[in-house]
Structure 1
Amino acid sequence: MQRPLHRRAGWQPWLGTVNGVVFWSLVALPLSAALVWLSARRKAGAWRGPAAVVAMVHGTVPWVWMIMLPGPGAGTAPRRVSLLPLHDLWAILTHGTPVTAVVQIGGNLLVFAALGYFAPIRFRALASVWRVLALGAACSVLVETAQYVLWLDRVSSVDDVLLNAAGAGLAALASRRRWNR
């Protein structure tokens, strides 16, 4: 019989679980706040740029870390790719439970939302919803490709790319009044 996860030795509970991701994200919050404070202090009150960068990183890395966690069949299960747009989304909506649909769709919309919200605030070159959509799609393609190449027992799906990019674009729209022009 296997020991419960919280009693296993080694790095797995601290780095290879969703609980570990949440733990380290919370531990990093004071460090993130200190980085913003130090940057703003160094540049005489210019806190907006450093705060946007820290928020982008702190709001995106945990989500990417979670979706890069290997599944139970990592390295042994067959690699799966879904290239038919909206097929997986339709399957979730018609055959999944409402909770599964909310978690899958909501989670995919949130993966690059922080990037989409704060990138145009920090970088003038990204002050366009179309550019943020392209950035979100490109980052999502990289993540889906990494899931396939690293054989993580995850489905690499075009629907994930669409939802990740849409989340970045919607977040960019939400932050539009705060962009540097």
Structure 2
Amino acid sequence: MFTLYMGALVYVTFFAWNHGASLGPEGPGGRNYNLTPVRSIYRIAVFSPEWVAPVRILIGNIIMFMPLGFFLPLLFRQVRTILRIVLVGFFVSLWIEVMQFLLTYRVADVDDLILNVMGAFSGGVLYFAMRSAKRRVYLFNV
């Protein structure tokens, strides 16, 4: 399951069609990027002519990293704290954004990094909530 998720993550972040994603004029070497926190979130929320696209983009970036935050503590004993989940989520997202910067057909955006880390955090919280609930059910049934 984790392998399928990682394959889907690579596909979505590197190969899926980037429907008109642009942050303005291209930077050096034709690269398109945003290094100002919350800039693209603001632009998407305020200037989008419809409400579906911003919700899909913003919520999608969070949801995309929730499985990572959930699977990490499930599969790797060393990553069973929220801090470690957030750190791994940060570095995985940072790697993706750096690679997207190097690929001129993608957009590197610090806001994606922020939203992805929020997703990893949310997935970790979900993991610990489910683990806690499972323990309570087990103790209740004993």
TM over 0.5: yes
Q: Which runs of 5+ in 1 are unaligned?
A: 1-54
Structure 1 residue aligned with 2:11, among 36, 47, 65?
Answer: 65
Does 1:141 find its partner at 2:87? no
Of 55, 66, 70, which residue of structure 2 is paired with 1:117?
70
Offset, 1:125: 1.1
Which is greater in Rg? 1
The letter for the 1-side match of 2:35 is: L
Going from structure 1 to structure 2, the CA distance change for 1:72 and 1:99 (only over 3 Å counts) comes to: closer
Code of the aligned partner of 2:61: N
From 107, 117, 138, give the equivalent of 1:155.
107
| Residue 132, structure 1, aligned to residue 85, structure 2 | yes
2:58 equivalent to 1:105? yes
Residue 170 of structure 1 pairs with residue 122 of structure 2:
yes
The yes-or-no answer on 1:94 pairing with 2:51 is no
Identical positions, percent:
27
- CA RMSD in angstroms comes to 2.1
- Following TM superposition, by how much is the alpha carbon of 1:72 offset from its aligned partner in structure 2, in angstroms? 8.5
- Give TM-score scaled by structure 2 length: 0.76
**1:100-147 Cα shifts (integer Å, max 9, x gaps):** 111101221122221110110121211111111111110011111111
Inter-CA distance 115–72: structure 2 relative to 1 (3 Å threshold)? closer
Greater RCO structure (CA 8 Å; 6+ sep): 2
4+ runs deviating over 2 angstroms: 70-73
